[in-house]
Structure 1
Amino acid sequence: MDDHWGEIRKLIEARRAERLAERVRTLGDEGRREVAVRLPGLLKELRGVDRWDDGLSGYRVGLRVAGAGCLGGAAAVTSWLYRRDLAPRWGGADNDVDLVLAVLADRPAAWRADLAERLVLRLRSADDRGVELALALLRETGIEPPPHDPLVAGWVDRGPARLGEDPLLDHLLPRLFEAEGVGRTLQWDREPGRGWLGALPNLAEAGRVKREALIDGCVRRFLRGGTPTDLRFFVRLHEALAPSPAEASCHVRDYLHLLPAAPGPVAELAVKRLRSCAELPADDLAEAWDCLLFRPERTLVRAGLSWLARSVKRTPALAEVIAAPLARAFAADSAELQETAAGLAMTYADDMPEEGRAALREAIGFLPPALGRRAAAAFAGGAVAEAEAVFTPPSPPPAPERARAVEPPIRSAEELSQTITEWTDSWQSWERLLAGFVVLAGRDRPGLVAATRDRLTAEHAWTYAQETWPRAEQWLRGAATALNGDARTRHAWRRFLPGRGLAGPDLLLLHRGAEILRAVEEDTLPPVLLATPTHDTGHVAAAELVRRLEVIEAAGAKPLAADLQQALLRLPRTPDPEAAERAARLTSAAGGIVAGWTCPEAHVTMEWTCEWGHQGPHDWRDRSHAHHVRLAPAAVAAPTGLPLIDLVLSVPGHWAEPEHVHWWPSTLPSHREVAAAYLTPHLLQHYWYGPVVRAQARHLARAEGPAGPAFSAVLARALGDRNTREPVDVLLEVAARDELPAAEIGRQAGLLLVSGEVRMIDMVAALDEAARRGGHDQVWRIAAAALPALLPAPGERPRGGLTGFVTLARMAAEWCDARGEIPEVRDVAARKGNSGLLREIRRLHDRLTEGTDGTGQEG
């Protein structure tokens, strides 16, 4: 018997899994019991033999195969196969399924069925390592799988290859529409005709599964609810099946139940199928419209209004049931939708019952003033005076506090070690780490060495093979390595500093890191850094900067050059005479510089340039030709004599590689427009840096200094970002401080819309929200400045969504009582035609010139 164990052990240690499986199958009962007893001890011996991985990377398969073939009960085998130390380190499915199945082949059928069920119930996710073995055993044993959601998710995750021949199809297909996790597993299955989206309709067409069962399964899944991600695949499957009007009519009540609260894509398909059904009862139509016109999504409200308008035009008797839905649409958060709803209500007012007109009169208060007066006059019994209670926009919100104090400095090596552990790539963490490193290098050098040895220096050696160090963290690691006495290269601060190719704020940041590394090498670190921010905008309070200079001077040290220049750029624009007087009493040159410092001004300009995808000169505003738009900023500032400050304030005209985009506003907190100018070359990128740049609008809003074309371009592009409404908060915050360059934002927004970089619907949604939250005056000035670029030239096709933009402009003009003719609006209003756009432009023109001779002051 010992010989049997000896042979099994040698095969495991030699990693000969296939030969091992063959040998295990020849063992008798006593031999298997002996192996089962010895295996745990062998596992302990092998753990840690191989230093790569966790010591078992080469022995796992053999140990699993031996355990599966020799352990006695199904419960024991399940526990062995699921041992954590027998799981692959990097996750993923087991790669020994065939070998495990081979050693289980001679087990009794009931035992194998028991094992299959136990393995299924141990699954926790679709990518669980045991899914393959569980599925294989289920197929071999033919038992009905136990109800377990991760099994279904794992089944679909393996793909639909030879799905029609899969014995699990009939068991698991009905559960596909019920099991949690399936939708997330299949969310990327999006190509019709391929994957599950191709396999299931093909099986239905071939008669292998019932088409009605698939449609019914999708609808049942929608009714169960879930997130858009959970339901995305089922929406695609439902549309791939394309239910006929007869099939859709079987689910009318289900589709109606989906309209009030289902995710947008589900509600959209429900609308589509309901509209395909012929002769829906008036009550069902009224219920559908009532649900849709109460939805927050504008696309669904627009679809509901379109459906309502066409239905009533085709069947005028339906006017009796449209009052309640239209009253809901009066409260829509879009001027365009309000206009459409009010127009329909006024058109069919005479055909509505009295209770319907009464409901609409009660809702008039949600309409803009002029539209409300027209609607009130249209309803029988509704006096114009009732419109005096129409919706009045709120006052602008107050500006939040511009800056807050940052976390206190790092005071101990333990705190620094914890900060490194929690370090995200934020400028706040970087500044605290840098300041803590410098302070602790003088106060607690042994503790600092211990805190950084494993956390900053362990993986730093490979960076010495690079040509340059363009990342801030590389310099901090280099300084920690030098502090530990383990530097690979002498004068690394000179060798690895990039000379060009990076943006000015990045070069300043790297110079700060390089001079700290140099000071570590030369043992000249000052006791404290000057540029560490005192506020979350990046500012350094003047009094605190002077105090730090006093500490350095008292220690007989010298401040670091780049650190001093960064500190000067972080001083607030408002002078502090008391701090300047204290600085003048210092004997160092740095004290004199701070005492005489005044914030330099930089003049920023910006041009829109275009790269063509074809030959020949064309206006980049011409949408019939492919083009790639770039923003080219430039800045001019009077020299200060401080090289890094002069470098940063003179924005180069060429594109530079950004490394720390999200740190730039904190580098220049008193030079908002310069920081924005550095951001604008990356503003129009859809991936990589574009979203990061647009997110800086909030930080630029709280910076100081003039706001010109660069800041306006950043905010205008952020307002057109469909993924966030935060820029509306930014617009209102800057407006509350009376710092918003509204006309310039409008010009930049117009250019963005004309170039196709921003969708009209997204810009209108953002500006509409800003107007309804009290920013109507600023929205009007933005819209008025954008309109000249947006209105079509004679013979030109209008841009999509322009009617909604003009409607928004008219609403904002009414709310702020704007007056003053806009020549471009006047010229378009005078054209022949009766399109919806022309009617809306004429209303805007009439509003602006009402009660004037057309030459009044612009509102």
Structure 2
Amino acid sequence: MKDLLTAVREGHVKDVPGLLAGLDRAGLRAALAELKQLRKEARGWHWNERERSRDALFVAGAGCHTGAAACATWLAGRDLMGWRRIRVTRVVEVLADRDPAWVADVAHRLAARPAAVESTYELIVGLVKLAGCPVPTTDAFVRGWAEHVSSAPWETRKTRPLTDILRADPYLPVLLPRVFELPELPPQMTWIEETAMNPCQWPVALPALVEEGLIERTALVDMCIARLLRGGKPAEQRLCLALVRRLELTEREEAGHLADWAAMAADGISTVAGHAQEVLGRMHERGELPVRSLAEFSGSVLFRTEKKLVRSQLVLIGKALRRDPSAADELLPVVAEVFGHEDIGLQERALKLVTRYLPSAGDAAREELALSAEQLSPVHQAAASEVFGDLLSERPTAEPYEEVLPIPPAPRPVAPAPATLPELIEEVTLLTSDLRSGFGGSGAPFDVSAFERTLDGLVRHAHTDRTALGNALREALTGRWRIDSEPSPHLRRWLISHAGIEIVVATLLGGESARAVAAGRPSRKPDWRCAHAALDGIRKARLWEAADAVLDGKVPFLLAVPTSHTGSLDPAVLVDRLRAYQRLGVQPGDADFGQALLRVPRGETHHGAAAAAAALGTTEGDRLAAWLRADEPLARVHRFDLKRRTHAAGDLVSTPGTWTHRVLMASEERPFIQRELPRPFHWLGEPHTPTHHLCHHWGERPEGWTSSLPQDAETLAAWMLPNISIGMAEEIRDTMRPLPALAELDAPAGEAVHLAVAYGLACRHHEDRLLAVDALLILAARHRLDAALLGEQLAVLLELGPAKPNRVAESARTAATTGAYRTTLSVLAAVLPGLLARRKAPRGLSDLLAVAAECAEHCGAVRVEPIPGLAETAARGGSSQLVRQAVRLKTAWDQKAGPA
């Protein structure tokens, strides 16, 4: 046993099987106890020593176990697996003399552990071969098998076709059907090129094996179709669809799945639905598609938003009616589903189809169609009247239009700091558990109220009974904090870099001394490159100051705790807090008071609070009074055009290339900030010119930044525009997160805020556009939206090129469908003139016109004057979507023109 332990420590894995062979059952048990102790010790070794002995420890432990469950647990240990592949042959060698049933039990127990299969797949296969038992069929093992055979061609120096690998795999007949039953297919299977005949891809390999007779064709077809019906990720659907296409189903196979094709056409993703339509079309040509089945699934297909699918289905229905006009009673009411489609071109197709076969329909079908015709766009009402005549009921007088906007978000008051110690401990535990006690992060939104009231609570309770607070925190956070009197350099670096609530807690627990707290403060002017880092710096300064306050316990509470969830602070409340400080003889902290000034609203409406502040007769009272009377923004901003010469990939070069042009906002110098506020705030008063760089804060949560400057939405928007604009131009996700928070601030929204929203409305990614639409609707609900200004900003972005009309149209349609038709039309009325004036209409202009026309049909014109260029575009003639939508918008505008 001594030799065994020495071999394990030195990493001599090749000696382990021979040494184990010389131990009896008692010796194995004794050796196992030593190995378990050695395993615990190894967790504290240097990684070089741990890696050297890992394989030997793994093999020796497997050979010493006599119970299958315990052996499987040992083999599944993460600390023993490491990053390298396990030496399967050594483990199989030490278990070679065990009972095959015992070995099979170990293999199947490992296969039942999803977390272990990824690293032990080859070991499980080795144990199965050793035991001669059936292969496991658990989801985890099946996934491991699929990943293994998918990756095998790329792990050999000379590429080996997947067909050869699968042909030689003895488990293919058992495991392949199980693969298609997995909740999600392994990504290695779905990395395919549908048009490439790559022998290392599943859509090529499986049909080849079908031809060889190694895979049953009917079973594979059924599995693929079942997976397509089941739905799932687009990549999985593409794989199964590629397999179906490569298998080239026979007419009999297609006919056997009629109900499946109908379901795919109704509910599948676009590519799957398109293929199902093709199959159904072939079945119709062969006379294998009953009219009743066609009618049943056509209703769902025609309700889809994809224009291509709707158009193809109308063609299929037209062919069916041409073959059998007597089917009009069943099929024409289904066609009427398209009368309510947003695309007027599809509405026209449906109306023409109904017009052609209406004579073959019965009276009941005619009445139903006439009733459905009321959904048609006004541009088609005249044609519908000619078709249905008296059957078309006269439309009732429309009620006056009423705009539907969301309820303006009301400021939510910030609750007082936790009054009792248990409440405070619970708040601290929640904030420190997920490392979101600072600004942002990519997780849940930063809770300004929770952060501020908890920070205030720590200061308050440290003032009343610091010892009791420290004891309660130590008990609650045992095992999660270093509470030594001399913290490690690593802990100090972590605290200084993160600087969240943790630094105050560590100070209270004794983890940071007063000297360390003082050393953590900025000793010189920070080199901040962006507003996000500057605002983080303000927060850090406040936290270090609060950490200092809990050490001496003299500060009774914090001044800068907001009264609203947006970060706004009522000036009267701040005056009361300063009065309490004066009564107690407490000197306000520089960072705390500076943040309080940035949070109070300024202007004439607060001169009463300014007089009360001046009456205090203190330096801070005079500073607050002057600040409240200053009716000007934190920093004045102005438009700044940033041009850049780039390659197509976007890299800055000195040789001629493609010019990109972005509209941004620059801020002017504000000496008052640098004169009146402490050093961490000085960045806010410096002049700033935007650059083309994207800072690393683009994916973080913005609530903490906006709560630092809740009265200066314009300044914040100007400083955040570089990330927002780059996100739109380079199609980066999550750069629009600040928009709703900016719109929710109780501050004027000017050119910078509207420009930021304009960039958001032109984003590529749908979730980012939704954030911009939310911001637009919030501004409108708060009566802070300048629709003409937003339209002008969008027109500028569309003119310069980074924005695309079709994306703006999608955002506008989303906003309109919430009920904000007049608001949306007011914005589009300012966007369209510049686009209509172009010699060549930009791609997507017809989409913008369609949204504007829909809005005008609901709410009427937003002004008496026509949209410049609209009449000329409508008069061009022809059947293009551009002209058709221009005619539609002009018709609706002229019919409902009137004052806004």
Give TM-score scaled by structure 2 length: 0.79
Shift of 1:681: 1.0
Q: Which of the residues 379, 388, 409 maps onto 2:396? A: 388
Residue of structure 2 in register with 1:583 after alignment = 613
Q: Separation in 2 of the partners of 1:179 and 1:787?
A: 50
Residue of structure 2 in register with 1:823 after alignment = 868
The question of whether the paired residues in 2 share the 8 Å contact of 1:282 and 1:318 is answered with: no
Equivalent position SS for 1:630? strand
Are 2:726 and 1:685 equivalent residues in the alignment?
yes
Q: Which of the residues 563, 573, 591 maps onto 1:544? A: 573
Closer, same or farther: CA 845–437 of 1 in aligned 2, 3 Å: same
Task: Kindly provide the amino acid, as one letter, of the partner of residue 713 in structure 1.
Answer: L
Residue of structure 2 in register with 1:159 after alignment = 149
Matches within 5 A, 1:115-514: 115-120=106-111, 122-124=112-114, 127-139=117-129, 143-160=133-150, 161=152, 162-182=165-185, 186=189, 193=198, 194-197=200-203, 199-201=205-207, 203-204=209-210, 208-209=214-215, 213-223=219-229, 225-228=230-233, 231-232=236-237, 234-235=239-240, 237-238=242-243, 241=246, 243=248, 246=251, 248-262=254-268, 266-275=272-281, 279=285, 281=289, 283=291, 284-295=293-304, 298-299=305-306, 302-309=308-315, 312=318, 316-317=322-323, 320=328, 322-332=331-341, 335-336=342-343, 339-352=345-358, 353-354=361-362, 355-368=364-377, 370-371=378-379, 373-374=381-382, 376-382=384-390, 385-388=393-396, 395-410=403-418, 412=421, 414-415=425-426, 417-418=428-429, 419-424=431-436, 425=440, 426=446, 428=448, 430-432=451-453, 434-446=455-467, 451=473, 455=481, 461-462=489-490, 484-485=512-513, 487=515, 491-495=519-523, 497-503=525-531, 506-511=533-538, 513-514=540-541
Shift of 1:143: 4.0
Task: Kindly provide the amino acid, as one letter, of the partner of residue 133 in structure 1.
Answer: L
Closer, same or farther: CA 667–187 of 1 in aligned 2, 3 Å: farther
The question of whether the paired residues in 2 share the 8 Å contact of 1:39 and 1:63 is answered with: no
Q: Separation in 2 of the partners of 1:189 and 1:392?
A: 55
Q: Which of the residues 67, 71, 79 maps onto 1:80? A: 71
Q: Which of the residues 35, 39, 49 maps onto 2:41? A: 49
Equivalent position SS for 1:386? coil
Q: Once the two structures are superposed, what CA deviation does each residue of 1:447-469 show, in whole Å capped at 9, x if it has no partner?
A: 66674896488988348789x96
Matches within 5 A, 1:667-816: 667-686=708-727, 691-719=733-761, 720=763, 721-723=765-767, 725-753=770-798, 757=802, 760-791=805-836, 793-794=838-839, 796=840, 798-799=842-843, 801-816=844-859
Shift of 1:212: 5.3
Q: Separation in 2 of the partners of 1:741 and 1:638?
A: 27
Q: Separation in 2 of the partners of 1:511 and 1:105?
A: 66
The question of whether the paired residues in 2 share the 8 Å contact of 1:32 and 1:69 is answered with: no
The question of whether the paired residues in 2 share the 8 Å contact of 1:126 and 1:151 is answered with: no
Residue of structure 2 in register with 1:620 after alignment = none
Task: Kindly provide the amino acid, as one letter, of the partner of residue 672 in structure 1.
Answer: A
The question of whether the paired residues in 2 share the 8 Å contact of 1:508 and 1:562 is answered with: no
Residue of structure 1 in register with 2:160 after alignment = none
The question of whether the paired residues in 2 share the 8 Å contact of 1:612 and 1:626 is answered with: yes
Residue of structure 2 in register with 1:65 after alignment = 59
Task: Kindly provide the amino acid, as one letter, of the partner of residue 145 in structure 1.
Answer: V
Between the two proteins, the alignment pairs up a number of residues equal to 823
Q: Which of the residues 627, 648, 656 maps onto 2:684? A: 648
Closer, same or farther: CA 62–647 of 1 in aligned 2, 3 Å: closer
Closer, same or farther: CA 126–38 of 1 in aligned 2, 3 Å: closer
Q: Which of the residues 539, 551, 558 maps onto 1:529? A: 558
Residue of structure 1 in register with 2:666 after alignment = 634
Shift of 1:219: 0.7
Q: Separation in 2 of the partners of 1:820 and 1:244?
A: 60
Q: Which moved more, 1:560-569 or 1:139-148?
A: 139-148
Closer, same or farther: CA 823–119 of 1 in aligned 2, 3 Å: closer
Equivalent position SS for 1:634? strand
5+ long unaligned stretches in structure 2:
153-164, 441-445, 649-656
Closer, same or farther: CA 222–375 of 1 in aligned 2, 3 Å: same
The question of whether the paired residues in 1 share the 8 Å contact of 2:32 and 2:65 is answered with: no
Closer, same or farther: CA 71–570 of 1 in aligned 2, 3 Å: closer
Equivalent position SS for 2:664? strand
The question of whether the paired residues in 2 share the 8 Å contact of 1:441 and 1:448 is answered with: yes
Q: Which of the residues 535, 538, 544 maps onto 1:517? A: 544
The question of whether the paired residues in 2 share the 8 Å contact of 1:32 and 1:70 is answered with: no
Closer, same or farther: CA 638–678 of 1 in aligned 2, 3 Å: closer
Closer, same or farther: CA 639–829 of 1 in aligned 2, 3 Å: farther
Q: Which moved more, 1:255-264 or 1:201-210?
A: 201-210
Equivalent position SS for 1:738? coil
The question of whether the paired residues in 1 share the 8 Å contact of 2:379 and 2:888 is answered with: no
Closer, same or farther: CA 45–646 of 1 in aligned 2, 3 Å: closer
Two-structure CA RMSD over aligned residues (Å)? 4.3
Residue of structure 2 in register with 1:592 after alignment = 622
Q: Which moved more, 1:672-681 or 1:418-427?
A: 418-427
Q: Separation in 1 of the partners of 2:109 and 2:184?
A: 20
The question of whether the paired residues in 1 share the 8 Å contact of 2:373 and 2:392 is answered with: no
Q: Separation in 1 of the partners of 2:805 and 2:316?
A: 25
Shift of 1:781: 1.0
5+ long unaligned stretches in structure 1:
616-624
Task: Kindly provide the amino acid, as one letter, of the partner of residue 405 in structure 1.
Answer: P
Q: Separation in 2 of the partners of 1:235 and 1:372?
A: 42
Q: Separation in 2 of the partners of 1:158 and 1:394?
A: 61
Give TM-score scaled by structure 1 length: 0.83
Q: Separation in 2 of the partners of 1:220 and 1:517?
A: 60
